[in-house]
Amino acid sequence: MKNLTIPEEEYMLPGHTACLGCGATLAMRYTLKALGKNTIITIPACCWAVIPGVYPSRTLEVPLLYTAFEVTGAAVSGIRQALSAKGIEDVNVVGFAGDGGTADIGIQSLSGAVERGEDIFYIMYDNEAYMNTGIQRSSSTPKGAWTTTTQVGKVRDWKKEKKKNMVEIMAAHGIPYTATASIAFPEDFIKKLEKGKKIKGPKFYHVFSTCPTGWLVSPNKSVEVARLAVDSKVFPLYEVENGIYNITYMPKKEVSVKEYFSLQGRFRHLTEDEINEIQKEVDESWRILIEKEKWSKSLIKV
Amino acid sequence: MNEFPTPIATVPSTSNKTGGWRTFRPVILYDKCIRCMICWKFCPEPAIKIVSAEKYQAKNAAIAKLDAPEIDYDYCKGCGICANECPVKCIDMVFEEKLEG
Amino acid sequence: MIFMMKMLTGNYASAWGAKLARVKVVAAYPITPQTTIVEKIAEFIANGEFEGRYIRVESEHSAMAACIAAENTGVRTFTATSSQGLALMHEMLHWASGARLPIVMSVVNRALGPPWSIWSDQQDTISQRDTGWIQIYTENNQEVLDSIIMAYRIAENENVLLPIMVIEDAFILSHTMEPVEIPEQEKVDMFLPEYDPRYKLDPAVPMGFGSLVMPEGPFMEYKFKGQEAMENAMNIIDEVDMLYKENFGRSYGGTVEEYRLDGAENVLVIMGSVASTAKDVVDKLRNEGKNVGLVRIRSFRPFPYKRLRYILKNRKSVGVFDRSYTFGYGGALFTEVRSTLYGLSTPVKGYIGGLGGRDITTGLLEKIFMDIIRIGNEGIDRDYEWVGLIGDKRW
Ligand SMILES: Cc1ncc(C[n+]2csc(CCOP(=O)(O)OP(=O)(O)O)c2C)c(N)n1
Ligand code: SF4
Ligand code: SF4
């Protein structure tokens, strides 16, 4: 008898070259568990372009098209339309890209694909910086973080801007389904993917994926940090289905931003005041999210 | 080189034994393990296998019916997530050199 | 036999080519002067006359990326662009050839800005010389249509597997009507069997297309395969041209078209639709007793160096007309031709003109021929020069 809460089948093999405790690999592992064998995946430049190992190594049990950094949205469109032209509609077409490849350089092709209503899954594994090239700031890097392009130094040049909200951007496209997810909550993530399988059109997932290397986190704390991000409401778990917001996990205990930050070297330089300011912003975003959920649900016609 | 005109990767990464990366070795204390499979769930390799219930001794009869986790040291990189996530703290992280000595 | 003749612009001829080739996925973005190609395809689709799918992408970069992904999924693809759009595609052009995908793209030659210009020159395609694409330059609208069909046959050949640009001049071809014979669909189907590559994205076979290769890995070896494929293409372009003649009654010379080279001493080498004007000038000068001839390069990549050396080796002088520039030296066609003739005593001179749609008149071409005759007699005065500049009395 097996005591499992997520599917047993594995479509990601061991022997890959990700760092110890890499959250991005868990994001892939869960994605494929949910979507299964009948899947084609495309990956742009990012850590995941290297994780499968150097040629001739492959680590996925599904076909993988490597592509250029900014084209994931176009690549999934090409695969989808080619399959449809051949009369194949039941294959899951997946774009799997980092936050830089999605929220920055790839946002144009993603926007195009979503606007065109392509029947695809887009997974943005968010390790909150350009990790492949060595921890540079992205628009998804959270406020307060040190990266190699937002250094602390004498004038405290750490990242001052807020994280880009990709789920909101996707929702504004009128996307049929978009959700956040976290490597610390695989059941929630897989459920959202299962839901996506039943929806025709683009599905966008923003998956919080700890990067121990880039966040200066001890690898064994990788999942724990991701859990704290959710519990502290820094990264709430919710979905937006045809404009209706639904928070899928209500934090059970009070966790402060400070507590979440405390496990990560990248926030070490922040003062009490600076952390308090971020805490206020997090509280405000959470309040707005709750209001959005209430308001959007009130619009449902009964 | 294969017969393709462009490089196409076909060799499973399992030929790459990442166990050599390890500094700390996770060791499951089966007499404490409740076989919740949380370690298996969170292993990023994945390097934890599900083996038949009988293979290891269990804490009690109910647990003995459940299939057990087993770490595949060929691939385990020693990240320690399993030990950190284990709800009953039954995975020890042991320094590799100590093991060898 | 049902003979279908239509009055078509070069762009419509291109769209007809894609339709006859039974392209499965088109991904394209509009740009003047290419626009009417995609509009025509959209019209075919709206009327249920085109079986393929048209992805209305948000940029040329995505157009090429989508074609690459679709082609990797195992279907025939088509796109079209010009100028800035082609420049934007640059990164993906390398990707397409590196992945050895037989994509066919119609390119309508247009100048690159600034300053803005929508008119013809070959700067856009010449700038993509080293992307690993086969480049076929056409002279008229019939050739545009025929070349697209031939391009799939060439590109999909197992010994080639490289993408192809079929290139036409802005407005002169793209927007000018000419009578064009539309080949019968059945005959095209026999000439172009359904595309089914040996390797493609298929959930039944987990493979990784395009993974990281280390310096000691087979990176260079695969690039060398690309080089070999280009060399193979040289013969295959010529072969397919002959095969096309057998099937459809028309041929264009394959990699090179030779015009009145019998006994020609002074030869001009040129590419694109301006060859038509140059042919008239050759006829006129021949009538006047001057031994001039013309070589029209159809395939700039692969560059038909062996054939060209053979064709040009005993000529008295050779001129090369470039409708593009590489600041700092002579034109790209000129440098290729001259290195092709390396070691021979034939003087070779380059002429750069017709930029940004500047008219290349019979008068200008006649002056160029006279200059080529002159260097044949007197020897070379300078390596290359720009011709047709406003206020330049010499030209
Ligand atoms: C056009 C282009 N610009 C820059 C790069 C270099 N580059 C490769 S991966 C990368 C960062 C990837 O960041 P992200 O998408 O967040 O994924 P991660 O590496 O963090 O997993 C960059 C900048 C590139 N490959 N292509
Ligand atoms: S740098 Fe971060 S995201 Fe990239 S492989 Fe390492 S842990 Fe994973
Ligand atoms: S230490 Fe890390 S890699 Fe090894 S079994 Fe535990 S979770 Fe897996």
Q: Which residues contact C125 (CB under 8 A, 6 or more apart)?
A: C86, C107, C109, C135, C137, C165, C167, C300, C324
Contact A257, A278 (CB under 8 A): yes
Under an 8 A CB cutoff, do A222 and B44 touch? yes
Cβ contact, residue pair A220, B93, below 8 Å: yes
Residues C329 and C231 in one domain: no
Q: Report the C-alpha gap between B54 and C304 in whole angstroms.
A: 72
CB contact under 8 A, B8 and C199: yes
Please indicate, yes or no, if residue C158 is contained in any of the structural domains. yes
3-class secondary structure per residue, chain A: CCCCCCCCCCCECCCCCCCCCCHHHHHHHHHHHHHCCCEEEEECCCHHHCCCCCCCEECECCCEEECCCCCHHHHHHHHHHHHHHCCCCCCEEEEEEEHHHHHHCCHHHHHHHHHCCCCCEEEEEECCCECCCCCECCCCCCCCCCECCECCCCCCCCCCCCCCCHHHHHHHCCCCEEEEEECCCHHHHHHHHHHHHCCCCCEEEEEECCCHHHHCCCHHHHHHHHHHHHHCCCCCCEEEECCEEEECCCCCCCCCHHHHHHCCHHHCCCCHHHHHHHHHHHHHHHHHHHHHHHHHHHCCCC
Determine contact, residues B6/C200, Cβ cutoff 8 Å. no
Residues of B with Cβ-Cβ distance to A223 under 8 angstroms? 42, 81, 84-85
Q: Does the Cβ of A141 fall within 6 Å of ligand 1?
A: no
Looking at residue A301, its pLDDT comes to 80
Whole-angstrom distance, CA of residue A286 vs CA of residue A274:
19
Residue C391 inside a domain? The answer is no
Report CA(A126)–ligand 1 centroid distance (Å).
Answer: 13
Q: How far apart are CA C188 and CA C191, in angstroms?
A: 5
| Cα–Cα dist C386/C395, whole Å | 9
Residues C39 and C122 in one domain: yes
Cα(C366) to ligand 3 centroid in Å equals 79
**Which domains are delineated in chain A?**
23-301 (3.40.50.970)
- The alpha-carbon gap from A57 to the nearest alpha carbon of chain C, in Å, equals 8
Looking at the fold, whether C36 and C156 belong to one and the same domain comes out as: yes
Closest to A70 (Cα-Cα) out of C60, B95, B50: C60
Q: In which residue ranges of chain B is pLDDT below 70? A: 1-2, 99-101
Q: Looking at the CA of B72, name the nearest ligand.
A: 3
Residue C393 lies in a domain: no
**Which residues of A have a CB under 8 Å from any CB of B?**
1-6, 8, 10, 12-18, 20-23, 25-26, 29, 52-53, 55-59, 64, 186, 212, 218-224
| Pocket mutation for ligand 3, best pick of B33, B50, B76 (most atoms within 8 Å of C-beta) | B76
Question: Would you state the pLDDT for residue B97?
Answer: 83
Backbone angle region of B99, left / alpha / beta, with phi > 0 → left and psi within -120 to 50 → alpha = alpha
d(CA A129, ligand 1 centre) in Å: 9
C73–A75 CB contact, under 8 Å: no
**Are C87 and C153 in the same domain?**
yes
Residue C394: inside a domain = no
Q: Are strands C208-209 and A64-66 parallel, antiparallel or unpaired?
A: parallel
Last residue of a domain, one of C218, C248, C278: C248
| Residue C151 sits in the same domain as residue C243 | yes
Give, using CA atoms, the residue closest to atom 5 of ligand 1: A69
CA of B19, closest CA in chain C: separation in Å?
A: 22
CB-count exposure of residue A11 (10 Å: 0-12, 13-18, 19+): buried
Q: Report CA(A180)–ligand 2 centroid distance (Å).
A: 20
Task: For residue range A69-87, list pLDDT tens digits in order.
Answer: 999 999 999 999 999 999 9
User: Which numbered ligand comes closest to the C-alpha of B81?
Assistant: 3
pLDDT for position B100? 62
Q: Are residues C33 and C87 in the same domain?
A: yes
Atom 2 of ligand 1, residue of closest alpha carbon: A69
B16 contacts on C by Cβ (under 8 Å): none
| Domain identity same for C180 and C268 | no
Show the domains of chain B with their CATH numbers: 31-100 (3.30.70.20)
Within a domain: C395 = no
A82 and C210 in contact by Cβ < 8 A? no
Say if residue C63 is in the same domain as residue C199.
Answer: yes
Q: What is the DSSP letter of B12?
A: E
| Ligand 3 atom nearest to A21, measured from its CA | 2
Whether C298 contacts C270, CB under 8 Å: no
Total of domains in chain C: 2
ipTM: 0.97
What integer pLDDT is reported at residue C247 of this predicted model?
A: 98
Domain boundary among C248, C266, C291: C248
pLDDT digits (tens, 9 = 90+) for A95-143: 999 999 999 999 999 999 999 999 999 999 999 999 999 999 999 999 9
> Whose Cα sits closest to atom 8 in ligand 3?
B43
Predicted confidence at residue C2, as pLDDT, reads 61
Q: 3-state DSSP helix/strand/coil percent for chain B, to nearest 5?
A: 30, 20, 50
Same domain for C185 and C48, yes or no, is yes
Does residue C72 share a domain with residue C23? yes
C190 shares its domain with C319: no
Query: CA of B10, closest CA in chain C: separation in Å?
Result: 5
Disruptive mutation site among B1, B2, B6 for chain C (greatest number of C CBs within 10 Å): B6
Nearest CB to A13; choose among B8, B12, B84 = B12
What would the two tokens of residue B81 be?
């997530």
Residues sharing a CB contact under 8 Å with residue C67, sequence separation 6 or more, in sequence order: A78, C25, C27, C77, C78, C79, C96, C101, C103, C105
pLDDT at B101: 53
A209 touches A124 (CB < 8 A)? no
What's the whole-number mean pLDDT along residues A2-15?
97
In which residue ranges of chain C is pLDDT below 50? none
B86 CB near ligand 3 (under 6 Å): no
C152 and C50 inside one domain: yes
pLDDT digits (tens, 9 = 90+) for C105-129: 999 999 999 999 999 999 999 999 9
C310: exposed, middle or buried (C-beta count within 10 Å: 0-12, 13-18, 19+)?
exposed
Q: What is the CATH number of the domain that holds C376?
A: 3.40.50.920
Per the CB < 8 A criterion, the answer to whether A212 and B77 are in contact is no
Q: Which residue of A has its CA nearest to B77?
A: A20
B68 within ligand 3 shell (Cβ under 6 A): no
Find all residues with CB under 8 Å of A133, minimum gap 6, and list them: none
Which of C224, C248, C272 is where one domain is finished? C248
Is residue C26 within 8 Å of residue C77, measured between CB atoms?
yes
- The pLDDT of residue C22: 98
Secondary structure letter of residue B54 according to DSSP: G
pLDDT per residue as tens digits for the range C36-60: 999 999 999 999 999 999 999 999 9
Q: Which range marks the domain in which residue C177 is found?
A: 3-248
Predicted local distance difference test score (pLDDT) of residue C364: 98
Of A64, A220, A224, the CB nearest to B79: A220
- Please tell me the distance from the alpha carbon of residue A113 to that of residue A197, in angstroms, as a whole number: 17
Q: What is the CATH number of the domain that holds C168?
A: 3.40.50.970
